Amino acid sequence: MSREGFELLVERYGFRLLGVAISQLRDRTTAEEVVQDVLWSAHGQLARGRPVTWAWLAQRTIWRTRQARRRAWRREVPMAQMPPGVGREEGFAAAELLQAVQSLSPKLSEALMLHHWAGFSLEEVAAMLHVPIGTVKSRLSRGRAALAALLPDWSGE
């Protein structure tokens, strides 16, 4: 794979993968390491002529964040570690929403981030998390209910 091709991969998917990783790990430095590992794996896949899709990248990122979470201690993400460009939308701070999502259990936050932030369908999320679609729907419902309790002014779907 050419250097330009790899740079295009990083440009196209790096920020989205970083957002998913930060939401799960609550630590930007560890999230950056995870994304670097995922992109390096993608580079190897492409060099061997194997396809790399957004779904493959996201699933690999979730898997790596789970590994990192098992090894890391729990801590909150300082606002300075949030991805750039997080701002206010319809009077509500996206950073506040992200912080609330991070306070949920990993199972709920994974489902919310993959479906609502990364834009995967219910079927794709179920396949990535290796759970039935009903479980995904349940986690999304419980996650939205928890966010509504944490953030009374939030009206997300």
**What six digits make up the tokens of 49?**
């002529």
CA dist 79 and 95 (Å) reads 8
Is CATH 1.10.1740 the classification given to domain 1-72? yes
Residue 29: predicted pLDDT: 87
Residue 78: predicted pLDDT: 44
Tens place of pLDDT per residue across the chain (157 aa)? 567 777 888 888 888 898 888 888 877 888 899 999 999 898 888 888 888 888 889 889 988 888 887 665 434 444 444 444 444 344 445 667 777 887 888 889 888 888 887 778 898 889 888 899 999 999 999 988 888 888 776 555 4
**Closest alpha carbon to 108 in 146, 57, 77, 156:** 146
9 and 43 in contact (C-beta within 8 Å)?
yes
Number of helices (H), then strands (E), belonging to the chain: the values are: 7, 2
Q: In 2-41, which positions are buried (b, 16+ CB within 10 angstroms) versus exposed (e)?
A: eeeebeebbeebbebbbbbbbbbbbbbebbbebbbbbbee
The residue ranges of every structural domain in the chain are 1-72, 90-152
Is CATH 1.10.10.10 the classification given to domain 90-152? yes
Residue 93: predicted pLDDT: 58
The answer to whether 1-72 and 90-152 have equal CATH topology is no
**Closest alpha carbon to 152 in 104, 107, 100:** 100
CA dist 75 and 71 (Å) reads 13
